[in-house]
Amino acid sequence: MRHRLFSSLAGCILAGLVLPCTASADALADIRKTGKMLWGGDQEGGGPYVFPIESNPSQVTGFEVDFANRIGEYLKVKAEFTQGQWDKMPDMLRTEKIHAIINGYELTRERAEIMDATIPYYVYALQLMGRRDNPRIDSWASLRKSAGWARVKIGVLNGSAAEAYARTYCGGLCDVVSYDGNTDTMREVETGKLDATIEDTPIASFYAPRFGALRRIEKPVQRGYYVIYVKKGETALLQALNEAIVLMVRNGDLERIYRRYGIWDEQQAELAGIAGSGRFYGYFRATDVKVERNQMPTEESVRVDTRKRGWQIVRDYSGILIQSAGMTVVLSCISFPLAILVGLMIAIGRLYGRSWLRLPLTAYVEFLRGTPVMLQLYFIFFFLPEIGVKVPAFWTAILGLAINYSAYESEIYRAGLQAIPKGQMEAALSLGMSRVLALRRIIVPQAVRIVIPPVVNDFIALFKDTSVCSVVTIVELTKRFSVLSMSTQATVELMGMTAMLYLAMSYPMSIASRRIEKRLGLEQQA
């Protein structure tokens, strides 16, 4: 029950008033000084929240983009979208990489304990959806009937309020399947793998035209609120955001934005009431400000009723995918040489170094090999800032991958070095060479030749492992694939293109390594 929602807003207002202010940094002052409000979201979440623009997929659009931009206008600053992993948003907030989270974050008790929440900017509910041609699923109650068939299968977004609700509602009478993408479940219902899905109302409304085979069943249930979260204790920023939201509710800005995306519904009427009772916050001054009516269109203008397919996908998205593959190449090609260098040093230290060096080096290798690279990246990106070390996302990725792979490379080199007969070192020493010279000229060059195949193997693995860097906000090939596949639903085409790109990166490596092996192989002892 991670997402137990508040039954009423009063609870939240109370919570907001009671919880003490802890942080001292003033985010609002920072925003005004830099002229930029950094707001976090994950474009992988897809429409209508934050998703790539069809004609220019490196840019984002969505009702939350419009919403954030409008807030920026009220604060007289530029609102800047910052990509990050959806579930890592609170960490980005904590480490001050963003000023605010605007990404379909529901108001929950757990979140309100660690962050400060504004008043809601959207009232969502859970919409049950099924296939038009499936009479069996026609009501909430029908979910619990198995009636001789297998139990009903319901798809939900992993970790969402819908998931929590579905599990409670089913209570063992139906199967709940969790998915990582918002629209995955709708596609699965369409193809018949699932019987029903429960979606937040914005998703159900926005994607309804694209999934023509689906229908909405009964009225939405279990109302909840999307709120902006800021760092705990940022009262000035919280107040400014609340004022802006109240203004936007009153002057119709929100309605216009939501109508653009076709997600304005009767539930949003509650927003006006909330804005009214917002006087409790002490920002009544905002309600007196006169605002000119804005020029936004009132009808739906952002629509996604056609689904692109086949060559059209290839034509429209190969550019952005290749660009993201570039990030994958850059990450791999900078971090791997570092990993090799560090790995070789560690291996030499463990085999030939002074005895006091060996324990810490062994510990280094065991620790880094024994923990996931994702956690290591997470540590660098989200923990080091706590002790004052701020590493930018790109260098976090480089550093994390290099350190992690150095542990693996050091083991490969250790094996390679150990495979060199003892007589080689003795022969070198007997010629008057120092140990360092003997290592450099005689031992290491031989070891390097031996380990080419496993090292190239790791390099190829690294190309694919760079995808973990999305936890530290890097968008590389796999993340780009996820983002595009969520917003276009053209998963098969995009998957094929992504696979081809990875292959195009790794296959030349295999060929090159075989060439090198062949050439050096001539010099190897038979």
Partner 1 sequence: MITIANLVKRFGRTEILKGISFEVRKGEVHSIIGPSGGGKSTFLRCINGLEPFQGGEIRVGDRVLTPATGARSDARLLEGVRRQVGFVFQQFNLFPHLTVLENVIEAPIQVLKLKRSDAIGRAERLLARVGLEAKHRAYPRDLSGGQQQRVAIARALVMEPAAILFDEPTSALDPVMAGEILSLMENLAKDGQTMIVVTHSMGFARNVASQVHVFADGYDVESGPPSTVFGDPRHATTKSFLSQIAKD
Say how far apart CA 35 and CA 245 lie, in whole Å: 19
Nearest C-alpha neighbor of 261 from the set 190, 201, 183, 198: 201
Q: Does 526 bind partner 1 (CB under 8 A)?
A: yes
Which positions ≥6 away from 479 have C-beta within 8 Å?
44, 324, 467, 469, 470
H-run or E-run covering 99: none
Kindly list the strands in the beta sheet with 100-101, ordered across the sheet, starting from the edge strand earlier in the chain: 78-83, 36-41, 100-101, 229-231, 115-117
- Closer to partner 1 by CB, 159 or 353: give it: 353
- The residue within the footprint of partner 1, chosen from 110, 434, 492, 507 (CB under 8 A), is 434
**Is residue 489 within 8 Å of 187, Cβ to Cβ?**
yes
Q: Of the listed pieces 88-96, 117-125, 405-413, 518-526, which binds partner 1 according to CB under 8 A? A: 518-526
- The residue within the footprint of partner 1, chosen from 333, 419, 427, 495 (CB under 8 A), is 427
Beta-strand pair 153-157/229-231? unpaired
**Is residue 143 within 8 Å of 196, Cβ to Cβ?**
yes
- Residues between 347 and 376 with contacts to partner 1, criterion CB under 8 A: 354
- Closer to partner 1 by CB, 214 or 425: give it: 425
Beta-strand pair 100-101/36-41? parallel
Kindly state the smallest distance separating residue 435's Cβ from partner 1, in Å.
7
- The residue within the footprint of partner 1, chosen from 170, 433, 509, 516 (CB under 8 A), is 433
Kindly state the smallest distance separating residue 449's Cβ from partner 1, in Å.
7
Place of tokens 């056609």: 306
- Closer to partner 1 by CB, 191 or 434: give it: 434
Q: What is the dihedral of CA 413, 415, 417, 419, to 10 degrees?
A: -150
Kindly state the smallest distance separating residue 392's Cβ from partner 1, in Å.
41
Q: Of the listed pieces 25-33, 217-225, 311-319, 444-452, which binds partner 1 according to CB under 8 A? A: 444-452
Say how far apart CA 138 and CA 127 lie, in whole Å: 13
- The residue within the footprint of partner 1, chosen from 369, 392, 430, 500 (CB under 8 A), is 430
- Residues between 447 and 476 with contacts to partner 1, criterion CB under 8 A: 449
- The residue within the footprint of partner 1, chosen from 301, 341, 426, 519 (CB under 8 A), is 426
The length of the chain is 526
Nearest C-alpha neighbor of 84 from the set 426, 472, 348: 472
- The residue within the footprint of partner 1, chosen from 173, 424, 503, 508 (CB under 8 A), is 424
Kindly state the smallest distance separating residue 520's Cβ from partner 1, in Å.
8
Alpha-carbon radius of gyration of the chain: 28
Q: Does 339 bind partner 1 (CB under 8 A)?
A: no
Q: Of the listed pieces 45-53, 136-144, 189-197, 417-425, which binds partner 1 according to CB under 8 A? A: 417-425
How many residues bind partner 1, per CB under 8 A? 26
Q: Does 525 bind partner 1 (CB under 8 A)?
A: yes
- The residue within the footprint of partner 1, chosen from 174, 331, 402, 442 (CB under 8 A), is 442
Q: Of the listed pieces 156-164, 255-263, 280-288, 442-450, which binds partner 1 according to CB under 8 A? A: 442-450
| DSSP three-state, residue 522 | coil
Say how far apart CA 445 and CA 450 lie, in whole Å: 9
Kindly state the smallest distance separating residue 516's Cβ from partner 1, in Å.
13
- Closer to partner 1 by CB, 391 or 433: give it: 433
Place of tokens 């004052």: 388
- The residue within the footprint of partner 1, chosen from 421, 492, 500, 512 (CB under 8 A), is 421
Kindly state the smallest distance separating residue 518's Cβ from partner 1, in Å.
15
Kindly state the smallest distance separating residue 450's Cβ from partner 1, in Å.
10
Q: Of the listed pieces 31-39, 149-157, 407-415, 416-424, which binds partner 1 according to CB under 8 A? A: 416-424
According to DSSP, the residues that pair with 221 across neighbouring strands are: 126
**Is residue 92 within 8 Å of 103, Cβ to Cβ?**
no
Three-state SS for 324-337 is HHHHHHHHHHHHHH
Q: Does 431 bind partner 1 (CB under 8 A)?
A: yes
Q: Does 521 bind partner 1 (CB under 8 A)?
A: no
**Is residue 19 within 8 Å of 13, Cβ to Cβ?**
no
Kindly state the smallest distance separating residue 350's Cβ from partner 1, in Å.
16
Angle between helix 310-352 and 393-418 (nearest 10) = 50
Q: Of the listed pieces 328-336, 424-432, 496-504, 505-513, which binds partner 1 according to CB under 8 A? A: 424-432
**Is residue 22 within 8 Å of 232, Cβ to Cβ?**
yes
H-run or E-run covering 288: helix 285-288
- Closer to partner 1 by CB, 437 or 495: give it: 437
Kindly state the smallest distance separating residue 440's Cβ from partner 1, in Å.
9
**Is residue 92 within 8 Å of 51, Cβ to Cβ?**
no
- Closer to partner 1 by CB, 161 or 425: give it: 425
Say how far apart CA 431 and CA 23 lie, in whole Å: 66
According to DSSP, the residues that pair with 216 across neighbouring strands are: 129
- The residue within the footprint of partner 1, chosen from 109, 219, 435, 515 (CB under 8 A), is 435
- Closer to partner 1 by CB, 8 or 525: give it: 525
Backbone angles phi, psi at 199, to 5 degrees: -125, 155
Structure tokens, 133: 């041609």
Which positions ≥6 away from 423 have C-beta within 8 Å?
none
- The residue within the footprint of partner 1, chosen from 446, 482, 487, 489 (CB under 8 A), is 446
- Closer to partner 1 by CB, 21 or 359: give it: 359
Q: Which stretches of the chain bind partner 1, using CB under 8 A? A: 354, 421, 423-424, 426-435, 437, 441-442, 445-446, 449, 520, 522-526
